[in-house]
Amino acid sequence: MNEAEESVASETPAAQRPRGFSGELVGAVLLAALGVYLLVDAGAIAIPGSSNTVGPRFFPYAVGGLSVATGALLALRVLRGDRGPADDGEDVDPDAPTDWRAVAVISVAFVAHALLINVVGWPLAVALMFAAVATTLQGRLTPQAAVRPFLVGLTVGCVVWIIFVKALDVALPGGIVLEFLTSWF
Amino acid sequence: MAISDLLGGFADAITPVNLLFALLGVLLGTAVGVLPGIGPAMTVALLLPATYVLEPTSALIMFAGIYYGGMYGGSTTSILLNTPGESASIMTALEGNKMAKAGRGSAALATAAIGSFVAGTIATLLLALVAPTLVEVAINVTTADYFALAVLAFVAVASVLGSSPLRGLAALCLGLYLGLVGTDVLSGQERFTLGIPQLSDGIDVVVVAVALFAVGEALYVASRLRKGSVQVIDHKGSWMTREDLRRSWKPWLRGTAFGFPFGVMPAGGAEIPTFLSYATEKKLTKHPEEFGHGAIEGVAGPEAANNASAAGVLVPLLTLGIPTSATAAIILAAFQGYGIQPGPTLLTTEGPLVWALIASLFIGNAMLLVLNLPLVGLWVKLLRIPRPYLYAGILTFASLGSFAVNADPLDLVILLALGLLGFAMRRFGWPVAPAVIGLILGPIAETNLRRALAISDGDLSVLVDSWFSRVVLGLALLALVGPVVLRAVRGRRPTPAEVQREQEEDREVQRAAGTGDWGASS
């Protein structure tokens, strides 16, 4: 029971958030744009010649129309100052400013690991991703601070790989070293 | 006969190997469900790949354990962690957290565990009794009726879950779009595949669920990570006393009565019954002064409601093939992964499998009761995992689950793209569940609509031909218009967050009164 916790609980309401530009407007417009794309592209779906009255185009038209309408209405609501309640979570600090650097690092690290899996194997690729993400979230971005996360990630990656590949027969590239070391069982 | 079928299910489930899988599922489900930021839906999505290599019966038995284990794990988190969590367990957290701070954490955990067990057992029994009867009704349901049911589920999911119906609808649209990508089942035409060959099979439900729940959550938490050390409250004090038991058993039963029907209804979800249960217990209690300071009734009731609704959700899923929660949508995807299509014919075609699943729900529930309290020390250790490692680990398992499906790096790029979508949705307050339900239910709705119209030769009146579809579509209209009218007539119903705030304010007032007295006497 402390003061900090009280203030978190009382400052959460959406009403007290700034009324400036909201990224949600972009989201609503993009949703409407998605609807337009569905409406336009649905016309290009080939209809096999049959007597069937409702073909593969009907549902895309319906979803497209719904998306345009929802996106437009939502955009209007956002312009009028309506804001959705941002998601709560145990580890989420609702008052913290958005840490865009963390989002960027995670995104880049995740794409890099996706491309590396077939080159260096899943355990090493995942260890590098793990190290990048954990080091960023720690807030200390020095090479020394990345050693422990990397070792933890490598251990997790290797253990998971051995369980899933050797015991459960899931196809997962292990990389030359690990596959050689475990080739005997 | 339901009883003999159920006994047959027990005979299938109580083989040593299947018991082992049930135990494994329960342990994994609880361990993952305990981790903060991971709700039941994400638990099920992340652990789905682990069941892929098993044969269907064992896989579903393990799955039943994961499902109930994830529910249990969530309540432990909300009682012992000092921060507000997800919506379904927020009511448990309200009083449970106060009890833990007052040194009665063990009693809170015990009433939650036993309440979950009681509610889970009664609700699973109801499931076993209701399912065969409902299947008899459902077998006469036409394709048009099915379409009506899907529409009702869409509307209810979008407008009931979450605080803003329009935002629910936006999320639903995204899910319906994702469900359209791929090859059309009825005509064999590719739709919206952008010429990418991997997309012609459609976007995998597991990839979408893991992306929206796990990757989206990791990105969102990373963007607003709570700094400082993790505070886990010690679980102290005795387990339940006689007095605790006396005060708990009625809330357990009332919570079950709230939870099960709401779970059965399309888009009931767990949020409303837990809320109703809490409000009821607050009204009926003989110890109103304890509410807001750790009243055991306030833990017992909502926790029972939460678990009863989890079993209720399985009724429409197993009898109609209609998922009414995000978790149910993922379970449906799991069924489809094993080549099984839930629906009215499921009980006849896959009878033994379904009864083994229901039997293992009972078994898993009993295992959880036995395991959970003794293992609470282990769960507390999991709660203390440093957050940088926790979220890096969630991404690791997200990568594993999605890559294991097709062994294609492109799936991981799609995973990240959809994860960024999930991140944006969380920021905007768009609920994630309608997207997952739209993705899985959209194709079902489309197929049934087109079959119905093909039979009627395009005559739209077929959609309102039967009484069943008229009633269901009427309900859908009601669910769409009702909240708007209600809000206009008597204002908004308070959200769980507002109830919590109200309580904080009550406490503030009481404290102010307390300091006032103290001031006067000095």
Contacts of A99 in chain B (CB under 8 A): 222-225
pLDDT of residue B517: 43
Model confidence over A13-65: pLDDT tens digits? 444 444 456 788 999 999 999 999 999 988 888 777 655 567 788 889 999 99
Asked if A93 lies within 8 A of B170 by C-beta distance, the reply is no
Strand partners, B183: B190
Angle ∠(B450,B454,B460) on CA atoms, nearest 5 = 75
Asked if A34 lies within 8 A of B457 by C-beta distance, the reply is no
Q: How far apart are CA B34 and CA B37, in angstroms?
A: 9
Kindly state whether residue B252 falls inside one of the protein's structural domains. Answer: yes
* Position A6 confidence tier, pLDDT thresholds 50, 70, 90: very low
User: Does A83 contact chain B (CB < 8 Å)?
Assistant: yes
CB B252 within 8 Å of CB B300: yes
Dig out the tokens for B477 from the structure. Answer: 């209209």
Angle ∠(B329,B335,B339) on CA atoms, nearest 5 = 135
Read out DSSP for B38-56? --HHHHHHHHGGGGTTS-H
Asked if B221 lies within 8 A of A89 by C-beta distance, the reply is yes
Kindly state whether residue B514 falls inside one of the protein's structural domains. Answer: no
pLDDT of residue A18: 46
Q: Which of A138, A166, A162, A168 is nearest to A150 (CA)?
A: A138
Q: Is the dihedral of CA A134, A140, A144, A145 positive or negative?
A: negative
Asked if B416 lies within 8 A of A133 by C-beta distance, the reply is no
pLDDT of residue A171: 76
Angle (deg, nearest 10), helices B216-223 and B387-406: 160
Dig out the tokens for B126 from the structure. Answer: 């109801």
CA dist B438 → B39, B180, B314, B434 (Å): 19, 10, 18, 6
Smallest Cβ–Cβ distance between A45 and the set B166, B189, B425 belongs to: B189
Across the A:B interface, residue pairs with CB atoms under 8 Å apart total: 271
Model confidence over B251-271: pLDDT tens digits? 899 989 988 988 888 765 677
Asked if A91 lies within 8 A of B387 by C-beta distance, the reply is yes
User: Does A133 contact chain B (CB < 8 Å)?
Assistant: yes
Q: Which of B156, B163, B146, B167 is nearest to B481 (CA)?
A: B156
Most A-contacting residue of B92, B224, B459, B508 (CB-CB within 10 A), to test interface: B224
Dig out the tokens for B296 from the structure. Answer: 């055991």
Read out DSSP for A111-164? HHHHHHHHHH-HHHHHHHHHHHHHHHHHT--SHHHHHHHHHHHHHHHHHHHIII
User: Does A135 contact chain B (CB < 8 Å)?
Assistant: yes
Q: Is the dihedral of CA B317, B322, B325, B330 positive or negative?
A: positive
Asked if B224 lies within 8 A of A99 by C-beta distance, the reply is yes
Amino acid identity of A100?
A: W
Burial of residue B52, with CB atoms counted within 10 A of its CB: 0-12 exposed, 13-18 middle, 19 or more buried: middle
Contacts of B223 in chain A (CB under 8 A): 98-100, 102-103
* pLDDT by position in tens, chain B (length 522): 577 888 888 888 888 888 998 898 899 889 888 887 787 888 888 887 777 777 888 888 888 888 888 888 888 888 887 665 566 677 777 788 888 888 888 888 888 889 999 999 999 999 998 888 888 887 888 888 888 888 888 888 777 655 678 888 999 999 999 999 988 888 888 888 888 887 888 888 888 888 998 899 899 988 888 776 677 777 766 777 888 888 888 889 998 998 898 888 876 567 778 888 888 888 888 888 888 788 888 888 888 998 898 889 888 888 888 888 888 888 888 888 788 888 888 888 888 888 888 899 999 999 998 888 888 888 888 888 888 898 999 999 889 888 887 788 888 999 999 999 999 998 888 888 889 889 988 988 998 888 888 888 778 888 888 888 898 888 888 877 776 777 666 555 555 556 666 666 665 655 555 544 443 333
Smallest Cβ–Cβ distance between B504 and the set A9, A35, A83 belongs to: A9
Q: What is the mean pLDDT of chain A?
A: 80
Asked if B170 lies within 8 A of A99 by C-beta distance, the reply is no
Q: How far apart are CA B267 and CA B27, in angstroms?
A: 28
Domain that holds residue B52: 2-506
CA dist B399 → A122, B47, B391 (Å): 9, 12, 12
CA dist B496 → A34, B276, B292 (Å): 33, 10, 13
Asked if B84 lies within 8 A of A170 by C-beta distance, the reply is no
Count of beta carbons in the 10 Å neighbourhood of residue B24: 18
Smallest Cβ–Cβ distance between B223 and the set A1, A102, A122 belongs to: A102
User: Does A65 contact chain B (CB < 8 Å)?
Assistant: no
- Residue B18, min C-alpha distance to chain A (Å): 16
Asked if A54 lies within 8 A of B52 by C-beta distance, the reply is no
- Residue B173, min C-alpha distance to chain A (Å): 6
Burial of residue B299, with CB atoms counted within 10 A of its CB: 0-12 exposed, 13-18 middle, 19 or more buried: buried
Amino acid identity of A11?
A: E
Q: How far apart are CA B454 and CA B438, in angstroms?
A: 23
Region label for B162, one of left (φ > 0), alpha (ψ between -120 and 50) or beta (otherwise): left
Asked if B77 lies within 8 A of A90 by C-beta distance, the reply is yes
Q: How far apart are CA B232 and CA B314, in angstroms?
A: 33
Return the residue of B nearest to A9 by Cα: B501
User: What are φ and ψ of residue B225, in 5° steps?
Assistant: -65, 130
Asked if A100 lies within 8 A of B223 by C-beta distance, the reply is yes
Asked if B222 lies within 8 A of A94 by C-beta distance, the reply is no
Asked if B395 lies within 8 A of A23 by C-beta distance, the reply is no
Q: How many domains does chain B have?
A: 1
- Would you say residue A7 has pLDDT above 60? no
Smallest Cβ–Cβ distance between B389 and the set A66, A77, A152 belongs to: A152
User: What are φ and ψ of residue A86, in 5° steps?
Assistant: -60, 150
Kindly state whether residue B520 falls inside one of the protein's structural domains. Answer: no
User: Does A58 contact chain B (CB < 8 Å)?
Assistant: yes
Return the residue of A nearest to B432 by Cα: A87
Asked if A99 lies within 8 A of B166 by C-beta distance, the reply is no
Contacts of A74 in chain B (CB under 8 A): 166-167, 170
Q: How far apart are CA A18 and CA B14, in angstroms?
A: 58
pLDDT of residue A36: 93
pLDDT of residue A8: 38
User: Does A55 contact chain B (CB < 8 Å)?
Assistant: yes
User: Does A72 contact chain B (CB < 8 Å)?
Assistant: no
Count of beta carbons in the 10 Å neighbourhood of residue A133: 28
pLDDT of residue A128: 93
User: Does A171 contact chain B (CB < 8 Å)?
Assistant: yes
- Please state the length of chain A: 185
Count of beta carbons in the 10 Å neighbourhood of residue B335: 23
Give pTM, 2 decimals: 0.83
Q: What ipTM was estimated for this complex? A: 0.85
Asked if B225 lies within 8 A of A99 by C-beta distance, the reply is yes
- Would you say residue A125 has pLDDT above 70? yes
Angle (deg, nearest 10), helices B271-284 and B90-99: 50
| Token pair 């750790």: residue | B294
List Cβ neighbours of B74 (8 Å cut-off, separation of 6 or more).
B33, B34, B39, B40, B85, B86, B88, B89
Work out the average pLDDT over A128-152: 87
What DSSP state is assigned to residue B228?
S
Contacts of B83 in chain A (CB under 8 A): 90-91
